Structure 1
């Protein structure tokens, strides 16, 4: 496609591990045809050739965790026709959102030898808390097939076809025996957004919710089930408050352990 007619793609990073950007690079065979259809105007993980906006599609990884992030995310939004957040950090604040229920200044003092040089916010928040977002792609990291679907959909002018059912559906599709039923293994599959292909259950490990809650989450039923499977309240709290602490904590039933509290 001629350069002047190719849609412009920007990929941006905030507080994160880079894993979701690497998912795009891991597309391998699919990446070369994609690169021929779009102008990759900003993607520091792949190239130092940076071109200013506007961008037809911006993919944003990471949470807003510093004062500089606040200014930069608004600038990216203003330069973007469509903005899609990718990964648990960008959609729910990520692992670093665990600090939201604690004293961030105390953390800085413990971790850094000179905390006075660290300029960070007291909370880690998703991109949608600060600017309008056109679509959220969940996961830690995201699934490359879903990422390609999102990019293709927005460039084609349609809504991405990303299912919002639970991991349990994926287990059924691949013929994986239900771990809680067959082995009494604690598993968040019934309340977790699908997208990983039920990878952990396929290898005998219970789902730990890295894709966040699904649309039909029934947490009042889920927590007693986890207890029946041998989990103490503190273990349940830790399981829910990891990759998607903001989203899972928001749907805990009243009276259950909240973020930052013991079981």
Structure 2
């Protein structure tokens, strides 16, 4: 029996999230026995034609070519998984959405007329139907393995849909905002990182993006109370996930 096929694609991104798959090391060897990697240019230049059983896409849609390409990838893929802040919210490059791209081009490039880009950086879900989203900058490798394992087992993956605060509670961590007065986005940020920053006494800065129905208006006065200025509050929500609605 033929093994299911996996394709890994890159749009506008830094490559860090797709490299998480390579960081799986021993688990990747087990997966390789059960799945054929048909397209993954970080691993091999050899590719196989679609359609594909599972496609993993990293990166945001920032050019007309990428807009066309993501539609083709969707057509060729039975299951589409998007990974990382770029693919799920537009990424750090979505800061362009608040400025003038034509002005940016004129300042950065010697020949701006040669640069073909969209006015905005948008998540994959703004263009095609997505089956699963893995948040983070970078993603958590355990979640990636869970999605692939669930696909091979024919079940739905068990992915978190709560806030980082729940992960702090499960780890028995003291709340850095209550105990230490450290500004923290944990109450409104999607779980999945394992509360990495609060575990070392640092406030969450939202790299997994907003949780479902985040109560941002209730959090902002607390951020101010713990020393953040109006400008700092605005900037903290305009980092990895500035292209996603926080409120």
TM-score range, shorter chain: over 0.9
Per the alignment, in what secondary structure is the counterpart of residue 169 of structure 1? helix
Whether 2:171 is the aligned partner of 1:174: answer yes
Whether 2:231 is the aligned partner of 1:237: answer no
Which residue among 151, 156, 178 is the counterpart of 2:153? 156
CA contact (8 A) 2:121 2:243 kept: no
Write out aligned runs for 1:188-199 (5 A).
188-199=185-196
CA contact (8 A) 1:165 1:216 kept: no
Report the counterpart of residue 21 of structure 1 in structure 2: 18
Provide the C-alpha distance between the structure 2 equivalents of 1:196 and 1:251, rounded to a whole number of angstroms.
18
Superposition misfits of 4+ residues, deviation over 6 angstroms = none
Report the counterpart of residue 224 of structure 2 in structure 1: 227
Structure 2 gaps of 5+ residues are none
Structure 1 gaps of 5+ residues are 253-263
Considering only aligned residues, what root-mean-square deviation do their CA atoms show, in Å?
1.0
CA contact (8 A) 1:92 1:125 kept: yes
Provide the C-alpha distance between the structure 1 equivalents of 2:202 and 2:110, rounded to a whole number of angstroms.
38
CA contact (8 A) 1:12 1:61 kept: yes
Report the counterpart of residue 200 of structure 2 in structure 1: 203
Report the counterpart of residue 51 of structure 1 in structure 2: 48
Shift of 1:216: 4.2
Q: TM-score, normalised by structure 1?
A: 0.91
Provide the C-alpha distance between the structure 1 equivalents of 2:196 and 2:65, rounded to a whole number of angstroms.
36
Provide the C-alpha distance between the structure 2 equivalents of 1:156 and 1:244, rounded to a whole number of angstroms.
32
Write out aligned runs for 1:88-99 (5 A).
88-99=85-96
Provide the C-alpha distance between the structure 1 equivalents of 2:178 and 2:213, rounded to a whole number of angstroms.
20
